[in-house]
Amino acid sequence: MKINFAFLFLITGIVASRDMAFTGGTEELDPISKYNAQNNEKANVSFLLFTRRNPLKPDEIVLDNEESVENSEFNPQNPSRFLIHGWRGGPSDVINVLCQANYLARGDYNIFIVDWCPLASSSYLNATVNVREAGKQVAAFIDFLHRNHGLNLASTYIIGHSLGAHVAGITGKHVKRGRIRAIFGLDPAQPLFSIDRPNERLDANDAEYVENIHTNTAFKGFAKPIGDSSYYPNWGRRQPGCGADLLGSCSHERAVRYFAESLEGRSNFYGVQCESYGNIENMTCNIGVTVKMGGDLLDFKGSGVFYVPVGEKYPFAKGKIPYMHLFS
Ligand SMILES: *[C@@H]1O[C@H](CO)[C@@H](O)[C@H](O)[C@H]1NC(C)=O
Ligand SMILES: *[C@@H]1O[C@H](CO)[C@@H](O)[C@H](O)[C@H]1NC(C)=O
Ligand SMILES: *[C@@H]1O[C@H](CO)[C@@H](O)[C@H](O)[C@H]1NC(C)=O
């Protein structure tokens, strides 16, 4: 059983890295040659800040470097959002591009792109080991901005995709000066993470509110609920419009696209609450309570497990639907 899994995983890694090459998501800045991926033990995470005053060219803020903050557009009056890419991602990853644009279209924010590429760009195994180091560095950075520059933890959220969701979790565990308000885990990675080892992964205690969107429980994404609320678009296994998607790359990325769309406020994703995760597995949810998935406002957020209907292509949201009729 274990051997089969490892073998499958090796194959996935090889094919997944080819997938990445095709999508071209990380090529623009050539992060792999920019950093020395092999020398990843002492490698540092970098932080790129975008605001409405500098939507095109980020300010780089360096841990414990006061000047880098003073010379930046960081404004502690505005809410802060940290975006964390996954394995082999980088600054131009889809989570950064879509969420940065949609947050800044929404309002004044400090949008931090967490570039942990030097720690995330080698083998998947190495990257999972490096999740802890990356999370600790993000936590130290948040404590620094809070202590010296007035960052408001009560209006700080972290959004992480795949392995980045676990980096967000480790960050939440290590912030010393208070608690992060919210973490959104976008299809948190499953391989090599376990429900039984919450210290190594994203967990409901890592922020005041933890919401996860599960879009590829068939393969790359974490299957079981590991937050306060867990949303399962299309029952979570894989996503409509993704074709056969045997390795799950398309479905895995959909979590990012759904979350980014939920920030637009134009259309809405509604989840229908289920009694338990078992109802997700057997595709029978009919409690009828509906709650919005994603978005930026945490009022009225429920806790529990939710099924979410979605479309095949953008815009994916289905708006409000009389769910009771669907499942009766
Ligand atoms: C990482 O940051 C520390 C502290 O700022 C610095 O001393 C060190 O040289 C950095 N390491 C690399 C590889 O840039
Ligand atoms: C994994 O990391 C170690 C050191 O951190 C490095 O020596 C090794 O080459 C890395 N493996 C791969 C496949 O990148
Ligand atoms: C589905 O799972 C739920 C929760 O485990 C269970 O109560 C219900 O009976 C199951 N329904 C079917 C049709 O299997």
For the chain, list the strands marked E by DSSP: 46-51, 54-61, 80-84, 110-115, 156-161, 182-186, 209-213, 229-233, 270-274, 290-292, 304-308
Distance from the first to the final alpha carbon of the chain: 40
In this prediction, residue 36 carries a pLDDT of: 40
Q: Which two tokens stand for residue 215?
A: 């879009």
Backbone angles phi, psi at 142, to 5 degrees: -65, -40
* Cα–Cα nearest to 291, from 314, 268, 310: 268
The atom of ligand 1 lying closest to the CA of 65 is 5
Ligand 3 in reach of 328 Cβ (< 6 A): no
- CA-proximal residue: ligand 1, atom 3 (nearest): 44
Atom index in ligand 3 nearest the CA of residue 282 equals 1
**What pairs with residue 305 in β-bridges?**
230, 274
Distance between CA atoms of residues 74 and 61, nearest Å: 9
CA angle 311/313/319 to nearest 5° reads 40
- pLDDT at 43 (0 to 100): 82
Please give the torsion angle defined by the CA atoms of residues 301, 303, 306 and 308, in that order, rounded to the nearest 10 degrees.
20
Ligand nearest to the CA of 45: 1
Per DSSP, 221 falls in state B
Catalytic site positions: 162, 187, 252
CA distance 321 to 115: 39
Q: Which domains does the chain have, with CATH numbers?
A: 2-267 (3.40.50.1820)
Query: In Å, how far are 195, 196, 274, 286 from 184, measured between CA atoms?
Result: 18, 21, 20, 25
Nearest CA to ligand 3 atom 14: 282
Residues of the chain with pLDDT under 70: 1-42, 321-328
pLDDT for the residue 7: 36
Our answer on whether the CB atom of 327 is closer than 6 Å to any ligand 3 atom is no
pLDDT of 289: 82
Inter-CA distances, 156 with 27, 82, 253, Å: 29, 8, 24
Q: Which two tokens stand for residue 138?
A: 């993000």
| Positive or negative: CA dihedral 290, 294, 297, 299 | positive
Supply the pLDDT for residue 86.
Answer: 97
User: Does residue 54 sit in helix, strand or coil?
Assistant: strand
**Reading across the β-sheet that carries 80-84, which strands appear in turn?**
54-61, 46-51, 110-115, 80-84, 156-161, 182-186, 209-213, 229-233, 304-308, 270-274, 290-292
Model-level pTM?
0.86
CA dist 140 and 138 (Å) reads: 5
Ligand nearest to the CA of 68: 1
Out of 116, 123, 133, give the residue to mutate to test ligand 2, the one with the largest number of ligand atoms within 8 Å of its CB: 123
- Rounded distance between C-alpha atoms, residue 302 and residue 176, angstroms: 27
d(C-alpha 37, C-alpha 43), whole Å: 8
CA distances 70 to 54, 79, 80, 127, Å, are 14, 18, 16, 32
Of all ligands present, the nearest one to the C-alpha of 41 is 2
The residue count for the chain: 328
Question: Ligand 3: distance of its center to the CA of 279 in Å?
Answer: 6
Q: Write down the pLDDT at residue 99.
A: 98
